[in-house]
Amino acid sequence: MSGTQNGVQAIFQKEVPKALYTYCYNYRLNLVIVDVCKNVPEIEKFISILQQLYNFISRSTVHMAFLSIQKELFPKKNTVELKKLCDTRWICQISACIAVRETFSVILVLLNKISIESIKMRINQIKIVSDYLQLPESDLELPISENREIMSKNDVRTIIFFPVIDRMINELQRRFSDNNPILSGISSLNPQNKSFLDLQVSLPFAKHYEVDIESLESELKLIPKLIDRHQKEKKTKTNTILDFIQLLENYKLAFFELYLLFTIAIIIPPSSAGVERTFSSLRQIKTFMRSKMINTRLSDLAVLSIEKNISKNLDLEFIVDKFSAAHHNRRIMLV
């Protein structure tokens, strides 16, 4: 989507030249964590064990035993499933760790049970080795490991904690060091930021969108008085950009340039998480059983699914009555 020739951002900027392309900061952070885990050996081993554990327990026979043991040990609790790991969604790793922690005692019982059940197989394997060692031509060297060290607190810090922090700092600097001064100007429009209403910080952002700088400077000097008066009269604080733009809505002619900047700022996305949720909803709606539905119906169902918080509160009786009144056909009369 970020391609300079045929990517969405390139096509969009042909229509709106001043539009800014922002690479999802949420995904950047995810890449930082994934890279750290792959380059710190102890963490990589741990993540690998989590995945192997999921693969082993997800097998049908083992999975049934896993659920059965949970019900026996904790009859009053809901069963917990282990989670599959995914590089593109770090939340999967967190969920996998939590699931293993909650079912750790169950996993130990399960593995012990499986080891006991497979003892006959191990006896056969021992017999094979025993028979081989009795042969005259046998010549086998067995390496014996004497590494029985227990990791101390200092070892954990040296081997895991410090490498993780160092690597994470380096990756954060590498992936977030290209902050665009235009995008940084948005911070001056955030009431909770130290640079709130700072002209110097907002200047690159204002110049990019060709705002009248002299008018903006005058408005920035006057707006603090309006904010104070509004907070005293309404007994409320202006904490977010949305709160502030709602305040400016009633005074947008007097603070036209400032209102324009705030309006632009709230539509620049720092994350594509909302878009990804939209795609997820679409996959749930357009199943193979609905592959031939027309685009109008698909669009309507997608809106209902994406805006489910609104759709759940709809008055179904009112909708049925309205539908019935709009269609004077006795075959589809619903009331």
Give me the amino acid identity at 71: K
The DSSP call for residue 7 is S
The first and second tokens of residue 277, run together, are 């949720």
Interval 278-334: pLDDT, tens: 556 677 777 777 777 888 888 888 888 878 888 888 888 888 888 777 777 666 555
Domain definitions of the chain by residue range: 26-133, 183-265, 273-332
Distance CA 20, CA 180 (A): 10
Q: What is the pLDDT of residue 145?
A: 46
Distance CA 131, CA 140 (A): 13
Distance CA 179, CA 81 (A): 40
Whether the pLDDT of residue 126 is over 50: the answer is yes
Interval 57-78: pLDDT, tens: 988 889 999 999 999 999 888 9
> For the chain, where are the alpha helices, taking DSSP H only?
8-15, 25-39, 41-57, 60-73, 90-102, 104-117, 119-133, 153-156, 162-176, 181-184, 199-208, 213-234, 241-249, 256-265, 273-285, 295-306, 308-311, 316-326
Q: Is there a contact between 50 and 94 (Cβ–Cβ < 8 Å)?
A: no
